[in-house]
Chain A
Amino acid sequence: DAKTTQPNSMESNEEEPVHLPCNHSTISGTDYIHWYRQLPSQGPEYVIHGLTSNVNNRMASLAIAEDRKSSTLILHRATLRDAAVYYCPVDSGGSNYKLTFGKGTLLTVNP
């Protein structure tokens, strides 16, 4: 399974963009990169996923490095509701549909 490395915590101001990094240097060619976030005392929530190309949805953008060894989740305008722990699991490929979650990044958004 591909391992991921993220900063333990990051801080941002409301209304400003946030770039959350993730390193996945052992990723294989067919592994998808996923992002989830978790609010306190709740289950994680899917944010976005991608393979090679950058991806956009209503929640965020995902920028994937050309060598795929790292990715960045971009929140274009942080709000207080974006304060959460952000995870970037990489799927293990094959047919077992498994994601391996690391410890994630705790994002604090200041008003």
Chain B
Amino acid sequence: SQTIHQWPATLVQPVGSPLSLECTVEGTSNPNLYWYRQAAGRGLQLLFYSVGIGQISSEVPQNLSASRPQDRQFILSSKKLLLSDSGFYLCAWSRGTSARTYEQYFGPGTRLTVT
């Protein structure tokens, strides 16, 4: 069976500090990978998605970047955090096939507080 891991679960970082959030998927190969952010009381905002190693599409210009160094690893980074980067960060994966079913499986999330 497939499993998605995210860490850390919670993080408190000062403004201006760097960020690295990691997501890994087990039990599948060549998944599509996604990073979402959910600000307090808001809906899900898609930040990045990737259909393969080294292939990153950015949805919203911002202070963040993403990388996919391995097939089942997705990393969200920032060089200098802003207060507005606070939120609940979710990683998700879906099967990378041509079938028209985009069921996404979400990880447990990382709650980031920038102080």
Which residues from chain B contact A104 at a C-beta distance below 8 Å? 43
**A69: Cβ under 8 A from any B Cβ:** no
Residues on A facing B (Cβ under 8 Å): 30, 32, 34, 36, 41-46, 49, 51, 87, 91, 95-104
A44–B96 alpha-carbon span in the complex (Å): 19
Q: Let me know if B46 and A34 touch, CB within 8 A.
A: no
User: Which residues on B are within 8 Å of A, measured CB to CB?
Assistant: 32, 36, 42-46, 49, 51, 57, 88, 90, 92, 94, 96, 98, 100-109, 111
> What separation, in Å, do the CA atoms of A98 and B107 have in the docked complex?
17
A87 near B44: Cβ-Cβ < 8 Å: yes
Q: Which residues of A contact B57 (CB under 8 A)?
A: 96
Greatest chain B CB density within 10 A among A34, A45, A98, A104 is at A98
Residues of A within 8 A of B106 (CB): 43-45
A101-B105 contact, Cβ under 8 Å, with A43-B92, A96-B51, A96-B57: no
Which among B42, B51, B102 has the greatest number of chain A C-beta atoms within 10 A? B102
